[in-house]
Each structure stands twice: as C-alpha cells, then as structure tokens.
Amino acid sequence: MLQSIIFIIVTVAAFYFAGRNFLKIRRNILLGKDVPDASTSVDAGQRWRNVLLIAFGQKKMFARPIAAIMHFFIYGAFLLTQIELLEILVDGFTGSHRVFSGALGGFYTFLISFIEIMSVLAFVATVVFLARRNLLRLPRFHKAEMKGWPTKDANLILLGEILLLTGIFSMNGADTVLQGMGAEHYPQAGPFAVSSYLGPALFGGMSEGALVAIERFGWWLHALTVFGFMVYLAYSKHLHIFLAFPNTYFARTNSRGEMENMPDIQREVASMMNPEAAPTEAQPEGELSFGANDVTKLRWQDLLAAYTCTECGRCTSVCPANITGKKLSPRKIMMDVRDRCEEVGRTMDAQKSATPIDDGKSLFDYITREEIHACTTCNACVEACPVLINPLDIILQLRRHEILMESAGPSDWLPLFNSLENSQAAWAVSTERDAWKHF
C-alpha cells in the first residue's frame, strides 16, 4: 500500500511539471502570427501521408541508411516500451504485478520478448551514437553552435536510454528467476527472449529477498527514468519525439522554391503596372510591416519547427555556404529562433504578462546579418531535414525585414534594389522599361 501511495504521488508530480512545461512551450509557439499560405489549400489526406511516411515512417532518415537503422532501433524500442510503461502505471496504482499477463497469456510472453529484443538493439544503437559523438567526433556534431549545452543534452539522453534499459533488464531478469522459484506475487508469464537467459546468468543463486530488491530496483528505475524524461523533455532537443508529428502535418506542401507573396507589395506593384486592374480592397489599418525581425513576426508554424528541430545537423552538413567556410548554419538558425522564443517566454513569466513584452531585443541579437546574407537559397537544408523543417523561410523573412523595413543590406545588393525601384529593371539602363518593347 505504501509503495502505491508513493508511486501515485510521484506520478502526479511528474505529469504536473511536464504538463506545465508543455503548456509554456505551446504558449511560446503561439507567439507567432497565424498567417495562411497557399499550402493550406492542400487536402488533409496529403498532410496525413506526410505524417505517416515522414514522422512515423521516418522516410527521409534513410537517406543515410546506417544512422537511420540505428535510429529506428531506438525509435522502435521507445514505441514498444510504452506498452510496458502502461502496465507499470496500472501495477503502480493498483499494487498488482504484471497485470496484463493473465489476460493476454502467450501473447504477453511474445510481446515482452519482442520488447526485450528491440531493447537490446536499442542498446547497441545507443553505444554507436555515443561513439559517433564522443569518439569518432563526426564534424556535424561539433560545429560552433553545438558547444556546451546541446552536446551535453544529446549525451544525457543517450545515457538516460542506458539507464532505462538497465531498469528493464534488472526488472525482467530478477522477475524471471523469481517466477522459477514460485515466489508469491510473481505470476508465471512465460520465458522471455532475453531475460530467460540473462536473469539466471546474472541473478541465479541469489536469495528471494535479494531478487525482490533487484526486481523492485529495476521497476522503479524504469518508472523514474521515464518520469524524469517527461519533465526534462521541455528543455531538450528530444521534444521532436512528439512535435515531429504536428510539424510534418503543418509543414508547407507547396514547391520548395516558391516564395510567399506579400499582398501589400503586390497591390502597389499592380497599381503601378496597371491601375485599372489593381485590387480595390481596403488597405489594412496600422503600420505596414514586411518580413520579420522577431519571433512574434514569424508564423507560428515557423516557431513550431524551431521547437521540433532535432539538432541532427543534416541541414548544415549539406549547406554550400557552411561547407565553404561561411558563417551560416541552418541548424543554428532554428536553434536561435527557439532560444529567442524561450527568452520572450521567460520575460512574460517574470512580468506575469499574457502578451509579449518589448525587451529591446530581436532575432538579430541572435542571428547576424552575415549569416542571412551568406544563404544561397538553394533549398539544400530544406531537402535534407528529416522532419520537414524549413530554415530558408525564416532567413528570407529576416532578409525582407532588413531590406524593406531598414533599407539596409549588403552593399553589392543595393544597386540592384535601387535599379528595381527607379526603373523597374535589374540593370541600371537609361531607357525606360515601357520602351523595351520597341527593341
């Protein structure tokens, strides 16, 4: 009874803190503008196909097969262990033990065995990923933006995975030996694929009391690791475990090379080129603003993408600007947007405000002009992302703000803009554009 009470208190606390953190993230994402675009006209069927193939099926991960297979082992084990977690929750609340075994019979044995096999594969993948980051030191994991917390975060999650697997096999291994001893409260659940060998090898010959202690240790370690992960998730790049699904659903489905139009500028150009055919709808009230210089000027879908970023670095590893030594890193762009969202959210919390507060900062305090000028708009980063994140869209919004709102930009761009403004041509020619038809 005491164990159930403690478990209930711990579970409620974990869900409370995790829920509070997730609500803050939702609030931060919705700081962005709700701006419809052409892709919203695409039917829901296409969006659900993206979710199933790309988020759930991890289709784009397999552009790099070895990493994809290793990731699939961890991903598959994560999904399957939720079944065992559900049983732990029921057992923890009711004081029972392996409550599903009686109802499922032989299928339960198969299910737990399959979970154990996937867990072994996940352990192998975890060791491989730790080696890739810390021994092989793959370049994309050691860019400037990955120094400090991002690297620690990745390693902490991988070490947490090892803790989780330690809990599973301690619990199942000791449980298997206790079942063989006919111990009270440990019903026969059949021979598990791994624990039926690992349990006797590690724990055979121990007393019943010691085995119960090991089994309970594994049970609690499994539960507490999951609860800790739930609370920690809000501070980690592994938030993509959940957000990859809505992000692939809401991702733009139009051509990757298609830029979003600006209605106000379209209206002015139409009036200039053909006044009779220009739109006649009323001008929007308030000061016109083009592009974005802060998270509140971006679409909320862009902020969702920033929180979804896995920091895998595939975008940066294929970026021609980054490869040639320029400062731009598409991954850093997404990380900076997320960090700015967090900063705005913290300021709102500190001031107990329901709306963003002007703190005198903007995205340009995180992202330098040199970075956005280096982008070649080739869409390589967009193509490479395994969860349909679009760093290019954010870069273009920052550029638009700089050029249209600040009348700034690289010096070698300015003659082009001046020529477009003065003669509606990309070249500084003396002949009026209307006269070109005579040539």
Tell me if 266 is assigned to some domain: no
Domain range holding 14? 2-30+64-235
Tell me if 17 is assigned to some domain: yes
Specify whether 207 is located in the same domain as 297.
no
E-only strand ranges, 103-191: none
Specify whether 126 is located in the same domain as 156.
yes
Specify whether 53 is located in the same domain as 110.
no
Average pLDDT over residues 375-379: 94
- Place 301 in a pLDDT band, splitting at 50, 70 and 90: very high
- Please report where in the chains the tokens 């330098």 appear, as a residue: 368
Tell me if 272 is assigned to some domain: no
Tell me if 279 is assigned to some domain: no
Specify whether 112 is located in the same domain as 145.
yes
CA distance 340 to 305: 13
Specify whether 26 is located in the same domain as 121.
yes
Of the three residues 200, 217, 235, the one that is the final residue of a domain is 235
Of the three residues 214, 235, 256, the one that is the final residue of a domain is 235
- Place 256 in a pLDDT band, splitting at 50, 70 and 90: confident
Specify whether 367 is located in the same domain as 343.
yes
Specify whether 226 is located in the same domain as 304.
no
- Place 38 in a pLDDT band, splitting at 50, 70 and 90: very low
Tell me if 405 is assigned to some domain: yes
Mean pLDDT of the chain: 89
Tell me if 37 is assigned to some domain: no
Specify whether 133 is located in the same domain as 75.
yes
E-only strand ranges, 129-269: none
- Please report where in the chains the tokens 């010691």 appear, as a residue: 210
Specify whether 75 is located in the same domain as 215.
yes
Asked if 345 and 299 count as a contact pair (C-beta separation under 8 A), the reply is no
Residues 308, 313, 315, 321, Cα dihedral to 10°: 140
Asked if 307 and 22 count as a contact pair (C-beta separation under 8 A), the reply is no
Beta-carbon contacts of residue 81 (< 8 Å; ≥ 6 apart):
115, 119, 164, 168
Provide the pLDDT for residue 289: 80
Lowest average pLDDT, out of 291-300, 383-392, 414-423, 425-434, goes to: 425-434
45-58 pLDDT, tens digit per residue, is 889 999 999 999 99
Specify whether 53 is located in the same domain as 105.
no
Specify whether 7 is located in the same domain as 53.
no
pTM given for the model: 0.89
Specify whether 54 is located in the same domain as 94.
no
- Place 42 in a pLDDT band, splitting at 50, 70 and 90: low
Instruction: Kindly report the CATH number assigned to the domain that includes residue 303.
Output: 1.10.1060
Average pLDDT over residues 394-400: 95
Tell me if 120 is assigned to some domain: yes
Tell me if 251 is assigned to some domain: no
- Place 152 in a pLDDT band, splitting at 50, 70 and 90: very high
Number of domain units in the chain: 2
